[in-house]
A and B are shown apart, each in its own frame.
Chain A
Amino acid sequence: MAELRKERLDRGVKVRADSIYAVSSMKEIMFLIGPGLALIIVLLVVPLLLTPYWQRVFAITGIYVLLSISFGFLAGYVGLVCLGGAFFVGVGGYISGLLNTVGVPMFLCIPLAMLLGGLFCTVALLPCLPLRGVYFAIVSFVYPLFFARLIPATGWFGGTDGLPGLEVFSNQWGLLYLMVGVILVVIFGISRLVNYEDIGLVFRGVKDNEQAIKASGLNLTWYKAQAVFISAVMGCFGGAYLTHMYGWVGISLFATDFSIMPLAATVVGGVGTIFGPLVGAFLLVPISEALRAFGTLRIVFYAVILVFFVVFWTEGLVDYLKRKYEQFEHWVRV
């Protein structure tokens, strides 16, 4: 009886000549750009297929996607574990809301909230950037808790009631496709930044080779601050977007979910990839929404999924799919 054995073959499409990719046919070009193209098409088409309720879910998922990408970028490429998702969302949301109450139109509020919020968050986190270890994670996690107590206690910015009656997106499609556009810009922008731009090498050095970066005459803290700023801008956009989706700002913007969900999404999608957090967030947030009927029991489902990935599938979804995409597997007779 013939025995069967599984054989793996790398796809012969990528002919690597040192640093140059030699691509010689349409099929190979499609193989290389296929995944990116598929992502663009899926993101453009999916909102069209959803009911208005799930369109809302899609928009909120988008916020988590941005937060997850920013978490994945800082954790996987700069070596900073940032639990400041809620901080970024809250600061972005409040700045946008406050500007809107003094009469700045919405289309100006959002970019201003991104810029000012990014600066505010970076400056607030600056003192713990020179430190190594868990301090950055702790401080970034504690800031939103601090603001969520400070605002009701002092009654600033509307106190417990928040700021109601803000301008909202007049058009549901505008709301959805703004998010799709931002996600696409962010995902391809960050992926280019870390893989092809020279500054990506500096960020990687900050993560893996601190000494060499210092010996190269580069100020470690300055480059960490730049990376945090990039992340904070993404998070602040999420907050401003949420504000103008509901027309309301409140302390619920500082909810811990915004800090923890990106971590979970990155674990599921794969640490050290840019597309992993995106895939993870697009899976987890809708699952969490679908499990809403189970009430608090959904946390249990959630925990099971997480434990499963941490224990049995550490590499995450994206690395696994990437490997399958680049290899043929078939059974051969021995």
Chain B
Amino acid sequence: MNSDIILHVEKVSKTFGGVKAVDGVSFTLQRGDVLGVIGPNGSGKTTLSNLITGFVEKDSGRVIFNGQDITRWPPHKIADAGLARTFQVMRPYPTLPAYKNIIPPLYSPRARRSARGKLGDRSAVAIDILEEVGFERDARVPYKLAGTLPLGYLKRLELCRCLALQPELIICDEVFSGLSMSEIASMVPLMKKLQDSGITLIMVEHRLRELFKIADRAIVLNFGAKIAEGSPQQIFNDENVKKAYFGGEDNTYVFK
């Protein structure tokens, strides 16, 4: 297998009761790429991330990360291998300062390994990580109680929980949703910065305009199945995608 392939998902399926939430989805991801995962509501995007990261057991299929078969691994082991993820619904410790939310991941074996036992003061490391994503240290934002932070900061806090693991791949579950336009505008360069630092990204998104500022390729899900894959242009011109989103009429102006 090509060593540049970081993630290989092969015919992954999951059925909840009688509903096929994810139906035989396969894709391959090169190291350093950004892959978008899009689709209408309920098309199985979040379930797909849950399956890859082990939070939900797979009915069938295989997942290979960095040449290792992680299909049956528990979630904490997958995270420890360098495949991190954010959650759509964030639950920080509301009564604690923001930086304290980054301390548990610094306890992980992976964070300790990458620091080679020289992690030092975890609070200081946590504040450094937060500052990198735009928690202004001078304005004492890292010390603010997590419950008082606006949504944009909470989303970045969630990203920081991943970054503390020094991950190779992050699955971002709707980082743009619920944010104001200006918050999104500041989020886009941050995601680019992550990509430049060598982290591979999978972005599960609804906001296509912003997504394609970052992602160069996307897969489209509908009713759990992959209906299209390719560059933004390929996807917008795909008949199946049009059908899924607009019921078959030609409404591509929405994307322009």
Contacts from A to B (Cβ < 8 Å): 18-19, 198-199, 201-202, 204-205, 208-209, 211-220
Question: Bound state CA distance, A219 and B108, in angstroms?
Answer: 8
Contacts from B to A (Cβ < 8 Å): 53, 55, 74-77, 79-80, 84-85, 87, 91, 93, 96-97, 100, 103-111, 122-123, 140, 143-144, 161-162, 164-165
Does A216 lie within 8 Å of B165, measured CB to CB?
A: yes
Does B111 lie within 8 Å of A217, measured CB to CB?
A: yes
Does B165 lie within 8 Å of A217, measured CB to CB?
A: yes
Residue of B nearest to A203 (CB): B104
Question: Nearest Cβ in chain A — how far from B132, in angstroms?
Answer: 18
| A-chain residues with CB within 8 Å of residue B80 when the two chains form the complex | 217
Does A19 lie within 8 Å of B79, measured CB to CB?
A: no
Q: A18-B140, A201-B96, A212-B91 are in contact. Are A217 and B161 (CB under 8 A)?
A: no
Does A214 lie within 8 Å of B75, measured CB to CB?
A: yes
Residue in B53, B76, B105, B144 whose CB lies within 8 Å of A220: B76
| A-chain residues with CB within 8 Å of residue B85 when the two chains form the complex | 215
Question: 16 extra interchain contacts, Cβ-Cβ under 8 A, other than A218-B108, A219-B74?
Answer: A18-B144, A198-B106, A198-B107, A198-B123, A201-B93, A201-B103, A205-B93, A212-B104, A212-B161, A214-B55, A214-B75, A214-B79, A215-B84, A215-B87, A216-B108, A220-B76
Question: Nearest Cβ in chain A — how far from B183, in angstroms?
Answer: 22
| B-chain residues with CB within 8 Å of residue A199 when the two chains form the complex | 107
Count, A-B residue pairs, CB within 8 A: 80
Does B97 lie within 8 Å of A18, measured CB to CB?
A: yes
Question: Bound state CA distance, A224 and B158, in angstroms?
Answer: 23
Does B144 lie within 8 Å of A208, measured CB to CB?
A: no
Does B93 lie within 8 Å of A218, measured CB to CB?
A: no
Question: Bound state CA distance, A199 and B143, in angstroms?
Answer: 19
Question: Bound state CA distance, A199 and B76, in angstroms?
Answer: 17
| B-chain residues with CB within 8 Å of residue A214 when the two chains form the complex | 55, 74-76, 79
Question: Nearest Cβ in chain B — how far from A249, in angstroms?
Answer: 39
Question: Bound state CA distance, A217 and B91, in angstroms?
Answer: 17
Residue of B nearest to A199 (CB): B107
Does A201 lie within 8 Å of B79, measured CB to CB?
A: no
Q: A19-B97, A198-B122, A208-B93 are in contact. Are A213 and B143 (CB under 8 A)?
A: no
Does B161 lie within 8 Å of A18, measured CB to CB?
A: no
Residue of A nearest to B86 (CB): A215
| A-chain residues with CB within 8 Å of residue B84 when the two chains form the complex | 215, 217
Does B165 lie within 8 Å of A18, measured CB to CB?
A: no
Does B161 lie within 8 Å of A215, measured CB to CB?
A: yes
Q: A202-B107, A209-B91 are in contact. Are A19 and B76 (CB under 8 A)?
A: no
Question: Bound state CA distance, A205 and B102, in angstroms?
Answer: 11
Q: A18-B97, A19-B97 are in contact. Are A216 and B104 (CB under 8 A)?
A: yes
Q: A212-B87, A218-B76, A220-B76 are in contact. Are A205 and B104 (CB under 8 A)?
A: yes
